Structure 1
Amino acid sequence: MPIILPRSPILRRAFSTSPRCFQSSPLDLAYTRHDPPDTDQNNSRPPMIVMHGLFGSQRNNRTFSKVLAKELSRPVYTVDLRNHGASPHNPRHDYTSMSSDVEHFIKNQAQISTSKPVLIGHSMGAKVAMTCVLRSPSSYSGVVSLDNAPVDAALKSDFGNYVRAMQEIESHDPPLTRQSDADKILEKYESNLGIRQFLLTNLMKSPKDKKKLVWRVPLNILAKSLDHMADFPFKDPDQARFKGPTLVIRGGESRYVADETLPAFGSFFPRFELVDIPGAGHWVVSEAFEETTRAVVDWTRRVIDQDG
């Protein structure tokens, strides 16, 4: 049975700040396909697409996706969302544009375009996944939200601190040449070593100067887009509703899916199921890998595969 724990209230935003400027065509996303050992025997099972959170990339979900592919006997795709990883950069960074990119990706993958994939997203990626299924409910077999809710809600101040730390590293004079020096700066803003290591995956050698470290992500774009990451594009469940299977996994110590957001899930996703991971925070996959993976596997076998 799902465990529902008390939650502290979160701040709601009264309006959407998604920009109307910078309209552009969908971007071609970088991706990796993880196949199960018995690929040829299970082509009828809906594939999965896994999406990372802010400042993440597909590499964060590599092990998670490999396990899902093996356990569930279906291909699992990990993607880099726009302005992250190896995907293109663009001044527009909101959930509408990111969901358009994912739809474009699905359309151009022969193995996915003829099926109804399951979308799995963490944090920012969770809102992208939920946006996609609300935009085109009949195109998906299910959706999994890892620690985020379909509401306008202020981001934790941590992300603003991360941006400031990364900007300090970027503007350091002389330019930094060692990750250990960058980590010392990050430590002033974030004491958790795991989160610092996660952020440092975005640091790379400059193509122009191999001794100099630069950020892979466009900090200027993402810094300006933090408010947009707090939004959710859909406000009225009477205008958009996904009646397919929905799994919501939240960390027991996280504040991103407060109890007061559960009615929103019920309105937009009437078939949602809630699973709490006691002791885990916002980074549920890395903090509680086995519990999170097992919850997704069990739900898929019991709900998605039975529906199919």
Structure 2
Amino acid sequence: MTGSHQVPGDTKHPPLRQRWWPRGWLGQPLPGGLGVPARLWGVLCPGLGRPCPGLGGFSARIWGVTARAGSGLAAPRPVSTQRGSRRAPGKVCSGGRAPGTAAPRDSEPPPPRSSGRGQSGAARRDQSGCTGVGALLPSARLTDRTGCRRGGARSRAVSLSYAEVGSGGARPPLVLLHGLFGSRVNFQSVANALVRRGCGRVLMLDARNHGCSPHSPMMSYEAMSLDVQHLLHHLRIPQCIVLGHSMGGKTAMALALQRPDLVERLISVDISPVSTACVSEFSAYIAAMKAVKIPDGVSRSAARQLADKQLQPVIQVPQIRQFLLTSLVDVQGRYVWRVNLEAISNHLADIMNFPMFHKPYPGPALFLRGSNSPYMSSKDYPEIRRLFPKANVQFIEGAGHIVHQDKFEEFITAVLNFLPPP
């Protein structure tokens, strides 16, 4: 099952054409002589299969857009609404990748595999089985619950890559969202431990511009929340429990505040719904990562050693360097950063801040704070209480910012104690 599965158009029973719609080109009048250009009704480019906004969700194919020889316009194919077969535990899925790729492990990703496509415009596969590193995959156009689009612009969601472990259970699935510069593999050990202890179904997501998910120039919490909404809709998940660390925690909070009906409860790990004053620190990280130069054809261990040595003058903490190096991947013999450094750099202020919300989230919320971390403070509590009136703040003694790494067992216990009864 993939994030944007499509089915072919109906060629056996073609739509109305000719006298109702003499041509298939964009800009032609609609059937019945309404005289409205097709492009204004959301008829889109070939093969995207998007619905026509403002027409009740009907696809452009129903309205008589047909493929004509030499017209350059093919009948858009509607997104399938068929429910896929049950996914096996550990299944890795991606919006731009066929199923069957094994989930990357915590330690060593599998070797690169060829995608079978040519060089030009090809989807590439990196060491962890990702395709399209740096590529922008087809994205869905979403609106909020009221159907509004701010300023007349359409919000866009990308098809997130995700991995899934566990199955069944009466409680809603648990969705894990990683932090800045991370990927879903950061939560692999956490997900496995939770499943072993009866948590049920757990999904680990790669945020846009991270991991195996598509790259996009936009990097805001509203956009990242829409990405999660898009995936939940595709997987037919009516409600989930969402857990996010750092940037993922802010995405989780934005999702709960935008769509409280989708979130049964919320866990935010070492982050608050306020501005985080670390812009200069992360800017230095990005500059250092951009400056890394690795010769082609070297081994993975040698590449990591070279990158680590080049990062050391700017990033003195070894744990931070090792964390960043998890995003250094081999793509066809050349080492690149899997994260979209350009987009992150351009939107770093947005990532450090948090959007303004007025209506609080009515569900239960847990804020797990590392006692040794500077990312949360008692000054944040009034804003936490305003937006999450049922929130509980819990300290994990001896943990820094990456709570689930520093105090793994205490973290797992706190999460399990907060989950609803199975």
Same fold per TM (> 0.5)? yes
Q: Is the 8 A contact 2:207 2:213 kept in 1?
A: yes
Q: Indicate if the aligned counterparts of 1:137 and 1:241 stay in contact, CA closer than 8 A.
A: no
Asked if structure 2 preserves the Cα contact closer than 8 Å seen for 1:155 and 1:229, the reply is no
| SS across alignment from 1:141 | strand
* Residues 1:182 and 2:343 aligned together: no
Q: Equivalent residue for 2:199?
A: 73
The residue matched to 2:197 in structure 1 has which SS? helix
Q: Secondary structure at the match of 1:160?
A: helix
Pairing 1:1-80 to 2, within 5 Å after superposition: 24-35=155-166, 39-40=167-168, 42=169, 44-80=170-206
- 2:415 pairs with 1:296: yes
User: Cα offset for 1:108?
Assistant: 0.7
Change (3 A) 1:246 1:228: same
Contact 2:279 2:348 (8 Å CA) reproduced: no
1:216 aligns with 2:341: no
188-197 or 137-146: which moved more? Answer: 188-197
What secondary structure is seen at the aligned counterpart in 2 of 1:179?
helix
Distance 1:259 1:176, change over 3 A: farther
Question: By how many angstroms is 1:33 displaced?
Answer: 0.7
Matching of residues 240-259 of structure 1 within 5 Å:
240-259=359-378
1:146 matched to 2:278? The reply is: no
| The one of 223, 230, 235 aligned to 2:352 | 230
- Structure 1 residue 131, shift from structure 2 partner: 0.3
Question: Can you list the C-alpha shifts for 1:147-171, whole angstroms capped at 9, x where unaligned?
Answer: 11011232264322211210111xx
- CA 1:247–1:72 in structure 2 vs 1: closer, same or farther (change >3 Å)? farther
Map residues 195-206 of structure 1 onto 2, 5 A cutoff.
195-206=320-331
Aligned to 1:191: 316
TM-score by length of 1: 0.82
Structure 2 CA distance for partners of 1:121 and 1:173, relative to 1, 3 Å: closer
- How many residue pairs match? The answer is 269
User: 8 Å contact 1:21–1:92 — kept in the other structure?
Assistant: no
Counterpart CA distance in 1 for 2:407 and 2:190 is 11
Show structure 2 runs of 5+ residues with no match. 1-150
Match of 2:281 in 1: 158
Q: Which moved more, 1:244-253 or 1:64-73?
A: 64-73
Per-residue CA deviations over 1:212-260 (Å, capped at 9, x if unaligned) read: 311111111111111011121124xxx3211211000011111111110
* AA matched with 1:179: R
Unaligned runs of 5+ in 1: 1-19
C-alpha distance after superposition, 1:79-99 (max 9, x if no partner) = 001000000010000100000
Residues 1:156 and 1:275: Cα distance change in structure 2 (over 3 Å)? farther
Aligned-residue offset at 1:196:
1.2
Are 1:98 and 2:224 counterparts? yes
Aligned to 1:77, the other structure's residue is in SS state strand
Q: CA deviation at 1:299?
A: 1.5
| Matched position secondary structure for 1:164 | helix
Q: Which residue of 2 aligns with 1:84?
A: 210
2:284 and 2:339 mapped to 1: Cα distance?
A: 16
The answer to whether the 8 A contact 2:294-2:306 is kept is: no
CA distance in 2, matches of 1:246, 1:187: 38
Name the aligned partner's letter for residue 343 of structure 2: I
Look at both structures and tell me which one has the larger radius of gyration over its CA atoms. 2
Contact 1:234 1:240 in 2 (8 A): no
Residue from 206, 230, 243 that aligns with 1:120: 243
Q: Separation in 2 of the partners of 1:144 and 1:108? A: 23
| 1:191 positional shift | 2.6
Q: Looking at both structures, which has the greater relative contact order when contacts are Cα pairs under 8 Å and sequence separation is at least 6?
A: 1
Q: Which has the higher helix share?
A: 1
Distance 1:282 1:244 in 2: 25
Provide the C-alpha distance between the structure 2 equivalents of 1:283 and 1:263, rounded to a whole number of angstroms: 24
- Assess, with a 3 A threshold, how the Cα gap between structure 1 residues 203 and 105 changes in structure 2: closer, same or farther: same
- Report the 3-state secondary structure (helix = DSSP H, G, I; strand = E; otherwise coil) of the residue aligned with 2:324: helix
1:114-153 alpha-carbon deviations (Å, 9 max, x no partner): xx21000000000000000001112211000001101123
Letter in 1 for 2:164: R
Instruction: Confirm or deny that 1:135 pairs with 2:258.
Output: yes
Note the C-alpha offset of 1:30: 0.3
Residue in structure 2 matched with residue 3 of structure 1 by the alignment = none
Q: Using a 3 Å threshold, how does the CA distance of structure 1 residues 159 and 96 change in structure 2: closer, same or farther?
A: same
CA shift for structure 1 position 176: 9.0
CA distance in 1, matches of 2:281, 2:240: 32
CA gap of 1:265–1:65, structure 2 versus 1, over 3 A, is same
Residues 70, 160 of structure 1: alpha-carbon distance in 2 compared, 3 angstrom cutoff: same
2:152 and 2:315 map into 1 onto residues whose CA distance is 33
- 2-side partners of 1:91 and 1:21: how far apart? 19
Q: CA offset at residue 278 of structure 1?
A: 1.9
Change (3 A) 1:227 1:139: same
Closer, same or farther in 2 for the Cα pair 1:106/1:279, shift >3 Å?
same
- Which amino acid counterpart does residue 349 of structure 2 have in structure 1? D
Letter aligned with residue 287 of structure 2:
R
How many Å separate the matches in 2 of 1:135 and 1:56? 24
